[in-house]
Structure 1
Amino acid sequence: MAAPHTTRTASTVTVICRMPAGLVLDLYDAGELAARAGASTPVMAPPKPTASVRLNGAKADPRYHARDNVLLGMGGRTEVDASFWQAWTAQNPHFLPLVNGLIFAQPRAQDASAELAERGQHRSGLEGLEPKSLPGVTPFAKDVA
């Protein structure tokens, strides 16, 4: 079965997320946050986002196979409105996954795939451990009947 066709306009960017399960990006109204911070009594309810985008994670990469669980070089691709991405990165410039390159965006899908190929060979720290290379761990011997 063919993959669903997504329409792409000049106002979108391709966001790559190397985190295994993906990420939800929330955009908040800066004025509302400032009013909450300056209120005389604390506001205990969480702020409501004005817009949200769910990023596909590395497990959504078409090359990912659950049996092997190899995430190195994988990244989920999501088409995001360019104005949302610009506003979100301006609102969250010190967000560690953004700073460390676990999420990044390019205007063209080919450029995003090329950047993933460059960054993908560097470990993100979120990959699973290789059980055969753990020090002090020996696998059980197979029972012989």
Structure 2
Amino acid sequence: MATQESTLSLKKNNDVPSNATVTVASKSPFDITLKLYDLVEQNEPVLGGGFRTFKQFRERVGAPTFMIQGNSWPQNKGPHQQIVGGYAITHGIPKAFWDEWLEQNENADYVKNKMIFAHTEAASVTSKAADQAEIRSNMERLDPSNLPRGLQESTDMRRPS
């Protein structure tokens, strides 16, 4: 896979406007707060004297955080967010922030399994979300008329005859 130049380095060369944004699609049923982290070296004392150096991720102080909407909503009410193909759509996330967040989280299962993705064009996001509607997160709501076998039997037993 070819490495892409990050938006932060492109901004230094004035190739990407500082106000560029992306539209994010998320198949998560809950909202996700995106944060940036820095890898810092820490020292800790060891038994017998001395110190050991290790690396640890720490939340970046002063960095903005952004909330990505989940695709769930209260039962018997309509969604309060735009939903396409089971993905909740969130507009207006700064592209530089998204690129850095994606770089830090590229090996996360929800990124690799296409549960969250973004694009600069909203139409591209909604098109891709519609194309990936068959992808399941396994956190979807249960359909009462099509319950899994074990749940169906237990609910039948509770119904009065």
Normalising by structure 1, we get a TM-score of: 0.70
2:88 matches 1:76? yes
Deviations 1:81-123 (A, max 9, x none): 0000111111111011111000000111111000110112222
Unmatched runs of 5 consecutive residues or more in structure 1: 1-8
Report how far residue 11 of structure 1 moved: 0.4
Q: Check conservation: 1:72, 1:127, Cα contact below 8 A.
A: no
Task: Note if 1:27 corresponds to 2:33.
Answer: no
Q: CA RMSD in A?
A: 3.1
Offset at residue 54 of structure 1 (A) = 1.1
Matched, 1:141 2:155: no
Higher share of residues assigned strand = 2
Please give the alpha-carbon distance, in whole angstroms, between the structure 1 residues aligned to 2:44 and 2:135: 48
Structure 2: runs of 5 or more not aligned: 1-17, 46-52
1:111-126 matched pairs, under 5 angstroms: 111-126=124-139
Please give the per-residue CA displacement for 1:51-99, whole angstroms capped at 9, x wherever unaligned.
321101112xxxx673289999322222210000111111111011111
Kept in 2, the 8 Å contact 1:21–1:56? The answer is yes
SS at match of 1:16: strand
Under a length normalisation based on structure 2, what TM-score does the superposition of the two structures give?
Answer: 0.64
1:48 to 29, 35, 59: 59
Identity of aligned residues (%): 25
Matched, 1:102 2:111: no
